[in-house]
Amino acid sequence: MTARARRASIGAMPTAHPPRHAAWRRVLGVLAVLGASLAVTTTAAAGPARGPGARGRATGGLATKSPADRPASAAAPARVLLALGDSLASGYQPADGTTPPPVDPATGFRDQGYPHSYPADLAHTLGLGLVDLACPGETITSMSATPAQPACAATYRAELGATSQLEAARAYLARHRGLVRLVTIDIGANDVDGCLSLAHVDLACLGRARTAVSTELPRILGALRSALAVDDPGAHVVAMNYYDPLLAVAYQPGGVKGDADAALSVLLADGFNTLLAGVYHHAGVPMADVAGAFHTGQVAPALTYDGHVLPADVAYICRWTWMCPPSGSARPADIHPDDAGYTVIARTFARLVGQ
C-alpha cells in the first residue's frame, strides 16, 4: 500500500487518525525541497517472513570479517563482498557500542565482531568473504572526505594508507585485483537525520541533503564504477533505500498526534527514497527496496506489538528495530535494526543480486 493509500485508509485503523492540517503544510514544503520528480526505478522485493528476535551480539563500527568456510590458503583466497556505507552497513546495534574490534594480524584487517550485520548475512548467503569498510555516522559528504569517526580514519590510514572511506575502497580494490565480486553501499540517512524532529522540519537542512545526494552521490558511484572497471570488471555495485524508523511515533507516544506524525514521516521517507532511486537509476546501480521489505506505507492488516494494535508498517518497525522499547523497559529507542531487521535487509539484497 502506498503512502497515498495509507492516507485514504488510515482512519479505518483501530488506532489511527488522519493527519492534522499543519502536518500537511509541512509535507508540501518538504516534498518541494526533496525534488520528488526524479525518475524512480526500484527493484521490488516481497516482504520476507519475520526472522527471530534480537539474539545479542558484538556489533558496531568498522569491521572486516569472513564466513567460517573462507579458505585459509593465501594462494586461493575467497571472492569477497566489499561493504561500504554508514552504521547499517557496519551492523551497529545500540547495546554494543561503537568501539571497533582489534585488527587480525593474519589478514591485516578487522576480522572479528558484527557477524549478523546485513553484509555479513549476505556474504554468508553468497558464499563470499567480507571486507566491511563502513563507518557509523558516515554521510555522503564525509564518505569522500574526513570520516565520521576518528576510529574509522585511523583504520583507513593504517590498513590502506587512505584518508576517507571512498579512498580506502579504491585502495583495497587496487591492492586486491580480481578478488571483489560485489560492492554494497548504503549512504544518505545521516544527511537527513539532523534535519527532522517531531516539532520541526528544517527545510534549509533538507536542501543541503538534497544537494549532497544529487551531486556527491553520483561522484561516489562514478568513482567506484571506474575503480571496478580497472580492478574487478566482473564485480557489481548494489545499493539500498531506507526503512522509516520514525513510524514508531504511532506506538509511542501514539494517539492522534503520533499517528499524524507517522503519516508525515512516511511521506518524508518516500521523498528521500525517490531521490536516492533517481540517482542510483541514472548511475546504473540496482537498488534493494528495503523500504518495501519493511512494509513502509502499508497499514493493513493491523498487527499487535507489546499489547498495542498498530498499522502493519509501524508493527514491523517495532519488531525489526530498537525503536519501540516494551512497556516498562528502561532502554531508549534507537533507529538501528535488531538481528531480525538486519536479516530482512540481507534477504532483500540477496533477492536483488539473484535477479
Q: Residue 198 has what pLDDT?
A: 59
Q: For residue 35, which amino acid is it? A: G
Q: Residue 190 has what pLDDT?
A: 94
What is the C-alpha separation between 47 and 40, in angstroms, rounded?
20
Residues 6+ apart with CB under 8 A from 28: none
List of long-range contacts for 147-151, beta carbons under 8 Å, 24+ apart: 148/86, 148/190, 149/61, 149/62, 149/98, 151/61, 151/62, 151/98, 151/99, 151/100
What integer best gives the mean pLDDT of the chain?
Answer: 78
- Is 128:67 a contact under the CB 8 Å cutoff? yes
The domain of 331 spans: 3-69+77-354
Q: How far apart, in Å, do the first and last CA atoms of the chain sit? A: 23
Q: Residue 327 has what pLDDT?
A: 87
Parts of the chain with a pLDDT under 50: 1-76, 98-99, 101-104, 106-113
Q: Residue 182 has what pLDDT?
A: 97
pLDDT tens track for 43-63: 333 333 333 233 333 333 334
Q: Residue 329 has what pLDDT?
A: 85
Q: Residue 199 has what pLDDT?
A: 64
- Is 250:259 a contact under the CB 8 Å cutoff? yes
- Cis amide leading into 115 (omega within 30): no
Q: State how many domains the chain has.
A: 1
Q: Residue 78 has what pLDDT?
A: 72
CATH number of the domain bearing residue 275: 3.40.50.1110
pLDDT tens track for 312-341: 999 999 999 999 999 888 888 999 999 999
Q: Residue 94 has what pLDDT?
A: 82
Q: Residue 331 has what pLDDT?
A: 84
Q: Residue 4 has what pLDDT?
A: 35
pLDDT tens track for 191-225: 998 887 656 778 898 889 999 999 999 999 999 99
45 class by beta-carbon count within 10 Å (0-12 exposed, 13-18 middle, 19+ buried): buried
